[in-house]
């Protein structure tokens, strides 16, 4: 059996070739309406296919938001499965935004769903929540390693409510977020030692302003940093240097509604993603 190329290496190659932008596939009911589509499975299917056909050959990462597919039950999941397969076939890396987190034994089942190559929902990476303890994520971390896939762990999320948990201070004086980031750095150590980008990423909102730098939070985890919050949540690519400082070279800026609102015309979606990618390129150099 051949050893799969680790996710971190595949992501770095995609970022170099296509730029680091991630576009989210978030079929909000309001967007379906704006696109002249029904809030039903046919509308979901058309919306998703349009985004994948327009962008999967262009952007480094597509990030379907699982919740918007789950709300249609098994037929929505079937649309998601097809989107994952089509996007990967067109060359995009697929980051499944599922934010799973549970006790270890259940986490193993989530890992089987998203990180086992035999699963119909197998993705290049998945988002997970560490709030049952970082150690509870072990089955996902191990499954990702075995499959050459990746995991993005919520560390400092883009929403204002996140701070009440993530900034909580532990008995040793470090914040919960700093603990998560340190654990990720440890997971990435082997890949970093070989000079490669690690496969274990953190989610750090682009909306945080200078807070991480002022709090001296160490974002140098030797892995990718997914930065949601650009566009509808108010952040712009110009905010990235102050949020991430020197870690900016590993940032994957993520935008969903900020691009999707330009549909349903495929050329307009492509143009919106290209403008965003150009803004990112200008600040990341
Ligand atoms: O901290 C986080 C983690 C994940 N998200 C997800 O990203 C997109 C953002 O959508 P926009 O339309 O660009 O606001 C969405 O799927 C969130 O669940 C996040 O926003 N913040």
Tell whether ligand 1 has an atom less than 6 A from the beta carbon of residue 225: no
pTM over 0.90: yes
Tell whether ligand 1 has an atom less than 6 A from the beta carbon of residue 207: no
* Residue bearing the CA closest to ligand 1, atom 7: 228
Tell whether ligand 1 has an atom less than 6 A from the beta carbon of residue 228: yes
Q: pLDDT tens digit string along 213-231?
A: 888 889 999 999 999 999 9
Contact 218/178 with Cβ under 8 angstroms? Answer: yes
CATH code for the domain in which residue 19 is found:
3.20.20.70
Ligand 1, residue 256: give the atom nearest the CA.
13
pLDDT value at residue 2: 77
89 in a structural domain: yes
* Residue bearing the CA closest to ligand 1, atom 1: 157
Task: Tell me how far the alpha carbon of residue 47 lies from the centroid of ligand 1, in angstroms.
Answer: 18
Tell whether ligand 1 has an atom less than 6 A from the beta carbon of residue 203: yes
**Angle of CA points 154, 160, 166, to nearest 5°:** 40
**Residue 99 annotated as catalytic:** yes
pLDDT value at residue 193: 98
Tell whether ligand 1 has an atom less than 6 A from the beta carbon of residue 229: yes
**Across-strand partners of 238?**
none
- Structure tokens of 204? 């750090």
Task: Tell me how far the alpha carbon of residue 136 lies from the centroid of ligand 1, in angstroms.
Answer: 23
pLDDT value at residue 167: 93
Low-confidence ranges of the chain (pLDDT < 70): 1
- Structure tokens of 116? 């086992």
pLDDT value at residue 213: 82
User: What ipTM was estimated for this complex?
Assistant: 0.99
Burial state string for 163-181 with b = 16 or more CB within 10 A and e = fewer than 16: eeebeeeeeeeebbbbbbb
47 in a structural domain: yes
| Residues 268, 271: Cα–Cα separation, whole Å | 5
Task: Tell me how far the alpha carbon of residue 32 lies from the centroid of ligand 1, in angstroms.
Answer: 18
In eight-state DSSP terms, residue 219 is -
The alpha carbon of residue 239 and the mean position of all alpha carbons in its chain are separated, in whole angstroms, by: 18
15 in a structural domain: yes
pLDDT value at residue 216: 80
pLDDT value at residue 31: 98
Ligand 1, residue 205: give the atom nearest the CA.
1
pLDDT value at residue 1: 64
1 in a structural domain: no
- Orientation of helix 104-115 relative to helix 138-147, angle to 10°: 30
- Structure tokens of 36? 């002249």
Task: Tell me how far the alpha carbon of residue 157 lies from the centroid of ligand 1, in angstroms.
Answer: 9
| Segments forming the whole domain that contains residue 14 | 7-284
Tell whether ligand 1 has an atom less than 6 A from the beta carbon of residue 202: no
Domain count for the chain = 1
2 in a structural domain: no
Catalytic residue among 63, 99, 185, 249: 99
* Residue bearing the CA closest to ligand 1, atom 11: 256
């Amino acid at each position: 059996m051949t050893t799969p190329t680790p996710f971190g290496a595949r992501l770095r190659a995609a970022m170099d070739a296509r730029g680091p932008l991630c576009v989210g596939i978030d079929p909000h009911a309001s967007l379906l309406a704006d696109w002249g589509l029904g809030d039903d499975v046919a509308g979901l299917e058309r919306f998703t296919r349009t985004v994948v056909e327009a962008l999967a050959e262009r952007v480094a990462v597509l990030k379907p938001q699982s919740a918007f597919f789950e709300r249609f039950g098994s037929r929505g999941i079937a649309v998601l499965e097809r989107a994952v397969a089509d996007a990967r076939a067109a060359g995009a890396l697929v980051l499944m935004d599922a934010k799973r987190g549970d006790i270890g034994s259940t986490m193993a089942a989530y890992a089987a769903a998203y990180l086992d190559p035999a699963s119909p929902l197998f993705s290049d990476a998945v988002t997970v929540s560490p709030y049952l303890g970082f150690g509870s994520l072990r089955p996902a971390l191990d499954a990702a390693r075995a499959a050459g896939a990746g995991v993005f762990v919520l560390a400092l999320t883009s929403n204002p409510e996140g701070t009440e948990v993530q900034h909580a201070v532990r008995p040793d004086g470090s914040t919960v977020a700093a603990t998560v980031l340190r654990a990720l750095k440890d997971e990435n150590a082997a890949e970093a030692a070989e000079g490669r980008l690690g496969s274990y990423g953190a989610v750090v909102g682009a909306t945080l302003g200078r807070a991480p730098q002022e709090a001296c939070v160490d974002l140098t985890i030797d892995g990718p940093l997914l930065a949601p919050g650009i566009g509808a949540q108010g952040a712009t690519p110009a905010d990235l240097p102050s949020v991430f400082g020197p870690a900016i070279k590993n940032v994957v800026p993520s935008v969903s509604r900020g691009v999707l609102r330009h549909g349903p015309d495929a050329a307009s979606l492509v143009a919106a993603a290209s403008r965003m990618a150009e803004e990112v390129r200008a600040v990341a150099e």
